[in-house]
Structure 1
Amino acid sequence: MSTLVALARAQAVVSGRAQPIATVRHVHVHERPFVFVPLAMAGEAHAPLAAMAGTSVRDPRLFVVRQPRNRDERFGFAADLAELLLPYLTSFQGLTEAVAVDRGRDVRHRFTDAPQVWLPNTGGIDFLRLFGRSTRFRRLDGDYPVPPSVPLLGQWLTFLASSAEVPGSALLPNAVQALGLHWATGQSGAEDAHLGSLMAWITEGAEAARQAETGPVAGPATDPAFDNGVLAPLIADASPDLPTVLRELLLPTWNQMWHALELLAGLPEGGRVGARWDGDRDAYTAFVQHLEEGGAPQPRRDGAVAAAARLQRLENAATRYAVQRAFDDPLVMAEYRLAGSAFGGVVTLANPDRVDDTGKRPVLRPRIMVATSEPVRVEVGAALTSPARPSQKARVISLTPTPTGTDVLLELSGGMGRKLVADPGSVPAVGERLLLTTLSEAYRPGSAFPDPSDTPWTHGGPPGSHDESAQPA
């Protein structure tokens, strides 16, 4: 927990209301989202009990598995869900747009929109991941055949669950995590996982949150008292009242989900949210092409090389997401200012026409002096970036302590045009307030990974790729 979030939680305790910890919305909210509220059978990793799903708060569709341990009923649930979800997932495959690549020398095409499936919490994501794994390899013939839509649904669920691991992705967001990015409550993080309690802190206050704690859970796990006292007898007796009971259990969470979407949609969107959604549309387009080309289902587990490459992509995405949130939101950037890796100041001197001619050819290298009263914990030679000019680098030339703080002399490069005269407005002018940070959105090239066939047998390579001479006699 960061310092400012801890402060906001303390203020929430005192005031009895959740406190905002963001000035903009950091997640894309679709105009036509698909909301999915699952319930799982207690003690069964991927045995569905019920689900409520749909694209309209006024038209929820209830799916019920009367005997969750029955294989046929479980895959019947999958087939019914596929009838509702697959048309939604494929409804964005109509229009495409051209995207320039290779510095404009070529183009590729991607869909102009993509689906967005909302879940109540991270437990719902785990449920979809396991349910996708249990359905994407099902056979259409032989023992226990399933309809063609079932393995296709499994591939889609696996794709969505995998996208949820990518920081900043909005293809499969969950309400608890999204709300937690924007509000801090006076309860613990574990208590925030209860959607009803979290929503009550935001909309009504602490007293309502205490009452909401005893309300229905948002799934996929059910309350043990409900399991033993209500659910078990209904399942054992094959009672026709089971759908009615489950509808009453799911409906409060269903309404809270749509209320949460309204709250999030009411916040102004961050400047870089759209770019992240573009990345989601790229991923969606690539997966649709994979399916159209008859691509195989995702493997049960990645090989060593694929796992390493995926880990690197996730690490880069996490770094990029943290930087983008800070650049979009002054409240997020404030954490870095407290730590000294970002500071704000006023430009007191500027030499926009300075040219460095010590090299083989002269280059434009303006210098500016920034006076700041904030702590500066950067070294001489460090590269800084301003969110106002993300393509421009500022190298620290000197740090001079003053009675009121520090004077930071910076040399600028990039983002000023290709001439020896800076483009108008590209160099900060005297009197301009400037925010500088060690954070950067600069592209981070990936590492080169070997082909799986070039790895030793311990990492998925050919059985004969290990050194036979190293084996004991």
Structure 2
Amino acid sequence: MSLISTLARLEAVRTGRAQPATTVRHRHLSDRPLVLVPLVTAGEIGAPLGALVGTDRDAPRLLAVPQPRDRDLRFAFLAELADAVLPHIDACAEVVEAAERTEADPETGKRVKVEVELCADAAQVIVPSRAGVDLIRLLGRSTRFRRTAEQDPEAPFPAPPRVPLLGRWLTHYGERARVPGSSLLLAMTDLLGRHWATGQSTLEDQHLGALLAWIDPPEGASGAEAALRAELARDAEGQLLCPPAGPATDPAFDNHLLGPAIERYDRARTALAAAEDGLEADERYGAVSAAEREIRALVLSRTRPTWDAVWHGLDLLRRLPAGAHVADRWTRDRWSFTGHRDRIVSGEPPQPRRDDAVTAANKLATREREQARLEAQEALDDPLVMAGRRLAGEAFAGEVTDVVMAYGEGRRPSPRPLVTVRTDDRPQLAERGKVYRSLGGKPQAAEFVEEAGEGLLVLRIVDKMGRGREPEPGSVPEKGDLVCFTLFEHEQRGGAKLPDPEATPWTHGGPPGETAAVPEAPDPLTEEDVL
């Protein structure tokens, strides 16, 4: 945690209200995001209990599983979830625009620009908490390999037609959520925690109700009091007034309300199966329907407060202006969305359970590069974030007190002006260390020459001045200008080129598909695998 974040949390404790951690919004928010509030059965995270899903805050779609341990009812839930999610994804995938992309020519190997399709927008999914992101990833892994009756007529327990497709999309969103700065799949607690600093721990910030209580407390109450009430307050029946943001449920709800309701549903369904004539079956079917409606009402009572809280968080975030680099990061999300759409249309198989060595290395390198890029862009977009980097000695700002024109040595001397900056910051500069400033959206590099006195730093500008003997107007700071230089690069360079997956060396598992010396043992059979 940076020093400025610590100061903001202390200020939140003093004032009783969350303090802004940024001055702009650093994540993209779609006009019509798909909000998903999931619930799962306690002790068995792979057994869905229900969900609220939709793009209209006033008309969410309720999905519920009256008996989460029933395989058929689970698949029915996943089929309903696919019917709610996939049309929104398809609508975004159908609207495209022309874009240019650099690709290697198959004949010459040279990099050339080609015109391709790019989805004009991508479907954004928002869940209440970080645990919801993990559940999305789990649902994708458990459904993308399912076989349908059309694909394999002899498959045991065939999945509904669109469930495997849903699993592929959920897997892609789960993987994309691991890329820093991506906005395809977002957790509301992480979004709010990035833009506000509260007076509680980061672990407590994962409680959406408590986090919102600090950011927007009710009139007459402090953030700490409102957060404590959101975490602990219960009604006359002993149920939490602010239910957990899912996918977990409260034990009191499980034991006193949900458990008995599921038992009544099981008894009613058993009685229906034992009916001896049509009249008796009709009477008992009504009992089953009533028990199912009771469970749906219970699921709605736990998910609707969280649903409203997510939309309230979106309202708070929309008040912040978007950062300058947010659109660029969203464009990369759109490229990712378009690429996955193309892989599905071309008939490629689902994502493998485990990546080969080259793919895993590429993913790791991409995440490291995007993390460094995100940190740099947030600092460039936001003076408050840049202040934290300045306190850490990773940047400095000040006034230009002197500019001396100088030239480099060589056959054709290039301008290398010396700029003196007065600053109160204490950057961790090394001899001939590189520093950078943003010039027209592009990084301009300079070298640290010497310290000319207390708070006086002499820098040598080395690029972005044009090709003439004299620097282009505006490319060199003038006396009296306020400037800000960073010790970190603004753009990240690519790493070393990795071999093709087919050329994976034996030290890293060999080429994909190659038979291992010792075959992997299947997963052991557990009690949960047998109904």
Structure 2 CA distance for partners of 1:398 and 1:108, relative to 1, 3 Å: farther
3-state secondary structure, aligned to 1:369 = strand
**Structure 2 unaligned spans of 5+:** 103-110, 150-154, 218-222, 233-241, 266-290, 518-531
Residue 106 of structure 2 is matched in structure 1 by: none
CA distance in 1, matches of 2:81, 2:404: 65
CA distance in 2, matches of 1:79, 1:438: 52
- 8 Å CA contact 1:88–1:115 kept in 2: the answer is yes
3-state secondary structure, aligned to 1:181 = helix
In the TM superposition, residue 464 of structure 1 has moved relative to its aligned partner by 9.3
3-state secondary structure, aligned to 1:92 = helix
In the TM superposition, residue 453 of structure 1 has moved relative to its aligned partner by 3.8
In the TM superposition, residue 70 of structure 1 has moved relative to its aligned partner by 1.1
Question: How big is the alpha-carbon RMSD for the aligned residues of Structure 1 and Structure 2?
Answer: 1.8
- 8 Å CA contact 2:369–2:492 kept in 1: the answer is no
The 5 A counterparts of 1:51-200 are 51-102=51-102, 105-141=113-149, 142-200=155-213
In the TM superposition, residue 105 of structure 1 has moved relative to its aligned partner by 4.4
Residue 15 of structure 1 is matched in structure 2 by: 15
In the TM superposition, residue 73 of structure 1 has moved relative to its aligned partner by 0.9
For each residue in 1:3-46, what CA deviation from the matched residue of structure 2 results, as whole angstroms up to 9, or x when unmatched? Answer: 11111111111111111110110111111111000001111132
Moved more, 51-60 or 135-144: 135-144
3-state secondary structure, aligned to 2:412 = coil
How many residues get paired? 461
The alignment-based identity, stated in percent, is: 46
**Structure 1 unaligned spans of 5+:** 467-473
Structure 2 CA distance for partners of 1:40 and 1:319, relative to 1, 3 Å: same
For each residue in 1:70-91, what CA deviation from the matched residue of structure 2 results, as whole angstroms up to 9, or x when unmatched? Answer: 1111111111111110010111
Of 439, 446, 460 in structure 2, the residue corresponding to residue 394 of structure 1 is: 446
In the TM superposition, residue 235 of structure 1 has moved relative to its aligned partner by 1.1
In the TM superposition, residue 388 of structure 1 has moved relative to its aligned partner by 4.6
3-state secondary structure, aligned to 1:91 = helix
Of 429, 447, 451 in structure 2, the residue corresponding to residue 378 of structure 1 is: 429
CA distance in 1, matches of 2:113, 2:310: 45
For each residue in 1:386-422, what CA deviation from the matched residue of structure 2 results, as whole angstroms up to 9, or x when unmatched? Answer: 13554211111222232xx2x2111113322333332
3-state secondary structure, aligned to 1:222 = coil
Structure 2 CA distance for partners of 1:18 and 1:464, relative to 1, 3 Å: closer
- 8 Å CA contact 2:438–2:444 kept in 1: the answer is no
Q: What amino acid is aligned across from residue 281 of structure 1 in structure 2? A: R
- 8 Å CA contact 1:396–1:409 kept in 2: the answer is yes
In the TM superposition, residue 456 of structure 1 has moved relative to its aligned partner by 4.1
Structure 2 CA distance for partners of 1:37 and 1:465, relative to 1, 3 Å: closer
CA distance in 2, matches of 1:465, 1:457: 10
3-state secondary structure, aligned to 1:396 = strand
CA distance in 1, matches of 2:76, 2:160: 9
Q: What amino acid is aligned across from residue 369 of structure 1 in structure 2? A: T
CA distance in 2, matches of 1:453, 1:248: 53
* Pairing 1:48–2:48 present: yes
- 8 Å CA contact 1:343–1:372 kept in 2: the answer is yes
Structure 2 CA distance for partners of 1:111 and 1:351, relative to 1, 3 Å: farther
For each residue in 1:258-317, what CA deviation from the matched residue of structure 2 results, as whole angstroms up to 9, or x when unmatched? Answer: 010011011011111111001001101111111110111011111222111111111111
Residue 485 of structure 2 is matched in structure 1 by: 436
Of 258, 271, 281 in structure 2, the residue corresponding to residue 231 of structure 1 is: 258
3-state secondary structure, aligned to 1:333 = helix
Of 412, 419, 435 in structure 1, the residue corresponding to residue 461 of structure 2 is: 412
Moved more, 258-267 or 4-13: 4-13
3-state secondary structure, aligned to 1:49 = strand
CA distance in 2, matches of 1:252, 1:99: 42
- 8 Å CA contact 1:457–1:465 kept in 2: the answer is no
- 8 Å CA contact 1:457–1:464 kept in 2: the answer is no
- 8 Å CA contact 2:415–2:471 kept in 1: the answer is yes
- 8 Å CA contact 1:455–1:465 kept in 2: the answer is no
Q: What amino acid is aligned across from residue 436 of structure 1 in structure 2? A: F
